[in-house]
Structure 1
């Protein structure tokens, strides 16, 4: 049944993903997008590289190694979609370490209607403007073309494409390709597909490949997320 202790649901919105419930075991990990964790009945605790942080809402910047220790009751973990409006609004990339969020974030993220709150926040953000050549590559990143082929399509050398991606995205394109495939896999799981089929349709070599990628970016297995996925509330 996946990692012990995880119970609740996962929602997938246009500009964000959200887990709500009781967290279980989580390995130390980091992921490409930032993460914001809010306790619904008190403080939440996250172990970062500089020790344990406890606060009503905690910000985890992109790439920061961390381990979720739990909360005084249920919690919400929000993952802004990379390059989306919510990510732009919160601008978590300017932060360098796990830290408490501003006090004003608590009522917004711990309220009764997280979907409305997150969508309203996203509307206040501006879509990230990126180099059009890089955007062309990102649009096709979920396919099977090699980075060399994608670079040629954008009129760049492979080395220049890698440098441009690192400068504008803050991570190698190979990492972003994995992230895009994870998005597809989660959507297929939400649609009711099994793990093996979801892995294949997302472009992973097999279910084990999907498992390794999910552990790398979320610290939990696809089986756990599949068990928790729920349709987006309307």
Structure 2
């Protein structure tokens, strides 16, 4: 087993967490996100049955036990929410071609180290028909996006309360938000919390402070959420990873 450590840079956006750098080994775990990995050298990922999936590109379906047995000195890992178009496409790809099969995915050096650009290229490769521009957002959806950062920092957010604040019915807001943002409202709220927490951790805050700033009940709640989504605690990469975060909008 190659003892490669996780070290590099990462970014988080609604529905996406991406990492570029050295890919480390892990113990067996599962997470809700679809995990897409590409590297300059072959990776080995073992599933829950012990089968090994080897190659320079590996896609792990959501909620599937696995562990990274052989990492890589230089690679990219993209976690995609399975409720997004890219997440659904990646999960389908893994089932159709196998974890290490399918058409070529963008290599780590595709866009000269620009992780945000590489994520865009990756999403385009997974969802090739995603080029048409989305329709203009409904003003109430725009208003909801502007309100959410402050609301999630205060604690629980209900769709009913948010809908009342932006002047729509709950069902109408739920439909419009999912169609125009590309992520269901409840999932977007969760990712917003994670983005705020990551921003706080990146700024040097301890986990308890970061958790409270993001509206989690405590650091244990934040840790459970991170493990469920990514298979990693929020502290796992904080010392060796430089984070790029954008405020939710």
User: Normalised by the size of structure 2, how large is the TM-score?
Assistant: 0.67
Alpha-carbon shift at residue 227 of structure 1 (Å): 3.0
After superposition, the CA RMSD in angstroms is 3.7
Q: How many angstroms apart in 1 are the aligned matches of 2:199 and 2:88?
A: 25
Quick check: 1:27 aligned with 2:34?
A: no
Q: How many angstroms apart in 2 are the aligned matches of 1:216 and 1:139?
A: 27
* 1:152-208 deviation line (CA, Å, top 9, x unaligned): 233321233334445566764222211111111112111111111111112212111
Name 1:115's counterpart in structure 2: 113
Alpha-carbon shift at residue 6 of structure 1 (Å): 7.7
Name 1:147's counterpart in structure 2: 159
Secondary structure, aligned partner of 1:226? coil
Q: Which moved more, 1:119-128 or 1:168-177?
A: 119-128
Name 1:219's counterpart in structure 2: 231
Secondary structure, aligned partner of 1:198? helix
User: Normalised by the size of structure 1, how large is the TM-score?
Assistant: 0.70
Checking the alignment, whether the CA contact within 8 Å between 1:141 and 1:177 is kept in structure 2 is: yes
**Paired residues for 1:131-170 under 5 Å:** 131-132=137-138, 133-144=140-151, 146-166=158-178
**Paired residues for 1:1-234 under 5 Å:** 7-13=5-11, 17-19=18-20, 20-31=22-33, 34-45=34-45, 47=47, 53-60=53-60, 64-74=62-72, 76-79=75-78, 91-97=86-92, 98=94, 99-100=99-100, 102=102, 104-105=104-105, 108-109=107-108, 111=109, 115-116=113-114, 119=117, 122=120, 129=134, 131-132=137-138, 133-144=140-151, 146-166=158-178, 172-230=184-242
Q: How many angstroms apart in 2 are the aligned matches of 1:14 and 1:172?
A: 17
Alpha-carbon shift at residue 101 of structure 1 (Å): 5.8
Checking the alignment, whether the CA contact within 8 Å between 1:11 and 1:18 is kept in structure 2 is: yes
Q: 1:195 to 1:208 in 2, by over 3 A?
A: same
Checking the alignment, whether the CA contact within 8 Å between 1:35 and 1:59 is kept in structure 2 is: yes
Q: How many angstroms apart in 2 are the aligned matches of 1:118 and 1:96?
A: 21
Checking the alignment, whether the CA contact within 8 Å between 2:38 and 2:75 is kept in structure 1 is: yes
